[in-house]
Structure 1
Amino acid sequence: MFNHPALLAFPFALLACFLLYWAGARHAYLRRPTATPGDPGDFGWHFFVPCRDEEAVVGTTVARLRADHPRAHVWVIDDDSDDRTGAIVAELAEDDRRVHLVRRHRPNARQGKGAALNAAYDELNQFLAGGTDRERVIVCVIDADGQLDPNALNIVSGPAGFAAPETGGVQVSVRMRNTGDPRPLPGHGRLRNAFARLLVRMQDMEFSVSNAGMQLLRGRTGSVGLGGNGQFTRLSALDRIAEHERRPWKHGALLEDYELGLHMILGGDRITHLTDTWVSQEGLPHTRRFLTQRTRWAQGNLQCVRYAPRILGSRHYSGKGVLETLYTFLQPVAHLVTLALCAVLFTLLGLHAAEDGPAEAFSGMIALWPLVLVLAVVSVLPFVLWGPVYRRDRAADRSLLTALLWGVALWLYAYHLFPVSARGFLRMLRGRNGWAKTRRNAERTGSGPTAIEA
């Protein structure tokens, strides 16, 4: 039974696609050009900060944005918080005319991040004077715990960014700023904190090198995705989407950021990813909060599969762009198929063992050990090779051995994609399309994330 062509061909096909994609991402990352700065004075800047129960972080975030980017306006959307988020921002707005509070109230509030961003978009439209050149107004979405590089506006204003008129969106690299926290879980033991530190490190490694490489590869295929933090968009590009879709964000997917990018490219705007600047956020040391966040992402990815026909028929997507986007869409699907095949395989193995005995059943697997070993090595090596790259760019004080071990850990870390893809798929089947807000590290509440049913 283990020689069935389908059982052998599927993992080889998946591995071949993964290796091809990894090679392209690694090459794009290592050969990336240096971005030339531009003049931020050529544009008007507006930061959108969606918040719900963010009193632990919002004051620091707004103060830092205003100090580092004094010419920008900061729009904080209070999505009917139960804590002092709105009061904190209201106090800041009284003393600073460039801080704006957008209040939302139930039942219209708590419908997801996209709906909150649409509310800020409406407020901004009312705020801007008539005759404003909307091509030169830039909106940037920052998480409530986000910290933007003080030099970011110089970089995104350059020729690789908004100085090019065809550029509708720019995504900057994302970093985790709490990788050096020795005790990310105060009150817990040494072992729990060691695992939490590793979990945060893996998130930083994933975003700052692996995902950055993917985005740079997408830059070559014309299919760069927008993220939820450090997402810059030209206001005129948002207007074009709103004209056809009634609103810029929230069109049915939990990945409202990636979905926005799809609409932008389908409308003819270019999106670019810049690694020369960054936005930082807190990596999640809590396993439950991490899995909740990633389940939302996996479900959102599955929801975006419905755009495949439009992308296939779009003149704004090149052939390479179509292939890359379909590969991204099908990642959760591939994880689900792999889980299903594993279930079938172990079921057949159990039936075979019951009928012919364990020795006979396992003999077929033992005979394939050289092939299994080769598959294992080829699967692990790409993750390991990210380790030295990450050490060079983000952790130069660590040893090469540590970097290689981080690469092995990144391989193990990647297996979280299988359970979250399954959870996301089950949520879709059950019609649970609500938005789950992941709690901040500073929040000590142990009840887990709060799901908001849309």
Structure 2
Amino acid sequence: MTLVLLFFPVALLLCFLLYWAGARLSYLRQPKTVPGDPRDFDWHFFVPCRDEEAVVEATVTRLRRDFPAGHVWAIDDDSDDRTAEIVAGLAAYDGHVHLVRRQRPNARLGKGAALNAAYDQLNQFLPGGADRARIVVCVIDADGQLAPQALAHVCGPAAFGSSDIGGVQINVRMRNVDDRRPLPEHGRLRNALARLLVRLQDMEFSVSNVGMQLLRTRTGSVGLGGNGQFTRLIALDRIAEAERRPWQRGALLEDYELGLHMILGGYQITHVADTWVSQEGLPRTRRLLTQRTRWAQGNLQCVRYAPRVIASRHFCGRGVLETLYTFFQPVAHLLTLVLCAVLCAAHGADIADDGVRDALGTITAAWPLAIALAVVSIGPFVLWGPIYRRDRAPDRSLLVALLWGLALWLYAYHLFPASARALGRMFRGRGGWAKTRRNAEVVTAGPAALES
């Protein structure tokens, strides 16, 4: 019985190792991006805002400074603070800054609904003869900072320079990774743990996730993210024609879902790793778990697309397998938790039947297998450490990089409670959410956590 139960986690481990090997190889062999000319396109930045007075002025001002030809559409989702007032003040003196106002009960329905409002207002703004294939929409978080050369990279021949490309996702970095006191109100130990948490998020996004996305470029299943997401307007039009709106209302993973619709509609998506957008890493475990629960629930919501992905002629066989693997990650985490509980119960039954000495003898005899499983389970995370050191922290020692990799393995366990919470929310019919509170916010006027 125990051997039968062990088959499932071993099978999941083998799938993980295969995926990790593909992601690591793709990262190490990533090609350099050939830049294009941003003047060949018209650029519109969508900045969803809900209670963002702490960061919105700096974000809008920076976008206008670095990309003077672009238009910035700040979407105020009925904020309780001064967000709308700040953006309106900027718009009064700059014709390239636009305030999209939303009010309850038609506001606070999710990020996708806010982006759809900006899409509608952009359509009203554009002249009738606009070349919508040349117009690119970029979604930037309210705290996002886009690399100054980003537009040149995303319009190169391998990206929007090809008419087949409908979307481009760029690398994401944590801007506060070198902040020595991310929690200034706390002492040394709490700040040390907070620094490590931000560092691990930077490793996750700028190395591990990039490898995953570069692997997806080979399988034709690149996912769009919520920050640094570029989409061709004509591709959004095609989705809106088929689905009534580009971003699906109420979706908790509206970015990844948009990418699915784009590929199902016949456009390709690519990932550009040579440029980046930065955002704040979360120094508090509770906020991180809130964010990841929302993402896990969004993943589970996307499982309903599995039949369409399997039947689509726009997904190749490898793309179907990769997409299904992504869909069922939270399910795999939950299954692993259940199997661990069953295995513990089975061992307890063995002890009851055979006695403590015989049961311990059986466990001790299996120590070579246990060591082998530990190596193949922990090793892939540890091996990301030196790669991250090479590309993001060359001033740190190899030992520190290996310790970061070991910490990344422990950090990955947050996916298990996040998946369990997500499933629980779905069973209770909970689909609402609020934004993750910014680090600069001392207090918030509205809810800042996922509703329980």
Q: Could you say which residue in structure 2 is the equivalent of 1:100? A: 98
The code of the aligned residue for 2:381 comes to: F
Separation in 2 of the partners of 1:197 and 1:451? 23
Partner of residue 212 from structure 1, selected from 188, 194, 210: 210
Cα displacement (A) at 1:356? 4.8
Match of 2:417 among 413, 416, 419: 419
Native 8 Å contact 2:50 2:77 kept in 1: yes
Q: Name the SS for the 1:276 alignment partner.
A: strand
CA deviations 1:94-129 (Å, max 9, x no partner) are 010100000000000000000000000000000000
Q: Contact 1:115–1:249 (CA<8 Å) still a contact in 2?
A: yes
SS at match of 2:328: helix
CA distance in 1, matches of 2:343, 2:361: 14
Paired residues of 1:436 and 1:449 also in contact (CA < 8 A): yes
Q: Take 2:54 and 2:293, find their aligned partners in 1: how far apart are those partners?
A: 24
The answer to whether the 8 A contact 1:112-1:452 is kept is no
Q: Extract unaligned runs of 5+ from structure 1.
A: none
Aligned to 1:276: 274
Distance in 1 (CA, whole Å) between partners of 2:139 and 2:78 is: 19
Q: Name the CA distance, whole Å, in 2 between partners of 1:246 and 1:259.
A: 14
1:400 corresponds to which letter in structure 2? L
With normalisation by structure 2, the TM-score equals 0.97
Contact 1:289 1:448 in 2 (8 A): no
Matched, 1:402 2:400: yes
Q: Following the alignment from structure 2 to structure 1, what is the Cα–Cα distance between the partners of residues 303 and 362?
A: 38
User: Which of 414, 437, 440 is equivalent to 2:438?
Assistant: 440
Whole-angstrom CA distance in 2 between matches of 1:256 and 1:365:
46
Q: What is residue 160 of structure 1 aligned with on the other side?
A: 158
Matches within 5 A, 1:149-228: 149-228=147-226
Q: Which moved more, 1:8-17 or 1:69-78?
A: 8-17
Equivalent position to 1:368, from 363, 366, 369: 366
Name the SS of the counterpart of 1:308 in structure 2. Answer: helix
Partner residue of 1:449?
448
Change (3 A) 1:450 1:380: closer
CA separation in 2, counterparts of 1:398 and 1:391? 7
Letter in 2 for 1:249: W
* 1:253 CA drift (Å): 2.8
Contact 1:292–1:436, Cα closer than 8 Å, also in 2:
no
CA deviations on 1:364-396 (whole Å, 9 max, x unpaired) are 322222111100011111111111110111001
Match of 2:448, as an amino acid? P
Contact 2:290 2:449 in 1 (8 A): no
* CA-CA distance at 1:417 after TM superposition: 0.7
Offset at residue 148 of structure 1 (A)? 0.1
Residues 323/290 of structure 1: CA separation in 2 closer, same or farther (3 Å cut): same
Task: Give the deviation of 1:48 after TM superposition.
Answer: 0.2
Does the 8 Å CA contact 1:47/1:142 hold for their aligned counterparts? yes
The answer as to whether partners of 1:390 and 1:403 remain within 8 angstroms in 2 is: yes
Is the CA contact (8 Å cut-off) linking 1:75 and 1:99 kept in structure 2?
Answer: yes
Distance in 2 between the 1:140 and 1:311 partners?
Answer: 25
The whole-number CA distance in structure 2 between the counterparts of 1:220 and 1:184 is 38
Q: Which amino acid aligns with 2:77?
A: D
Once the two structures are TM-superposed, the CA of residue 343 in structure 1 deviates from its matched residue by 1.2
Q: How far apart, CA to CA, are the structure 1 residues paired with 2:451 and 2:402?
A: 40
State the shift of 1:452 in Å. Answer: 6.5
Amino acid at match of 1:311: V
Which has the larger displacement, 222-231 or 323-332? 323-332
Does 1:34 find its partner at 2:32?
yes
- CA–CA distance in 1 between the matches of 2:83 and 2:353? 64
Partners of 1:8 and 1:342 in 2: CA distance? 9
Matched, 1:233 2:231: yes
1:19 to 8, 17, 20: 17
- For 1:353 and 1:449, the matched residues in 2 are separated by 47
* 2:208 aligned partner, one-letter code: S
The counterpart of 1:133, out of the listed 131, 134, 150, is 131
**Contact kept in structure 2, 1:288 and 1:448, CA below 8 Å:** no
Q: How does 1:336-415 map to 2 (within 5 A)?
A: 336-354=334-352, 356-415=354-413
Instruction: Render the CA deviation track for 1:146-182: whole Å, top value 9, x for unaligned.
Output: 0000000111111011010000000000000101000
Q: Which amino acid aligns with 2:272?
A: L
In 2: Cα distance, 1:31 partner to 1:448 partner: 44
TM-score by length of 1: 0.97
The amino acid of 1:206's aligned partner reads: E
Tell me what 2:247 maps to: 249
Where structure 2 has 5 or more consecutive residues not aligned to the other structure, the ranges are: none
Q: 1:355: Cα distance to partner? A: 5.1
343-352 vs 167-176, which deviates more? 343-352
The residue identity in structure 1 corresponding to 2:305 is Y
CA distance in 1, matches of 2:342, 2:82: 52
The residue number in structure 2 matching 1:112 is 110
Out of 52, 72, 75, the position equivalent to 2:70 is 72
Aligned residues: 451
Q: Report the secondary structure of 2:411's partner residue.
A: helix
Deviation at 1:31, TM superposition (A): 0.6
Contact 1:139-1:235 within 8 A present in 2 as well:
yes
Letter in 2 for 1:413: Y
Kindly tell me: are residues 242 and 212 of structure 1, through their superposed partners in 2, closer, same or farther at Cα, counting changes over 3 Å?
Answer: same
In structure 2, the residue matched to 1:89 is: 87
**1:70-110 C-alpha deviation (Å, 9 max, x unpaired):** 00000000000000000000000001010000000000000
Larger displacement relative to structure 2 (296-305 or 244-253): 244-253
Instruction: Find the residue that maps to 2:133 and give its secondary structure.
Output: helix
Q: How far does residue 360 in structure 1 lie from its aligned partner after superposition? A: 3.8
In 2, the alpha carbon distance for the partners of 1:272 and 1:370 equals 43
- Cross-structure match for 1:267: 265
Indicate conservation of the 8 Å contact 2:48/2:114, yes or no: yes
Letter in 2 for 1:38: G
For 1:123, give the aligned amino acid.
Answer: Q
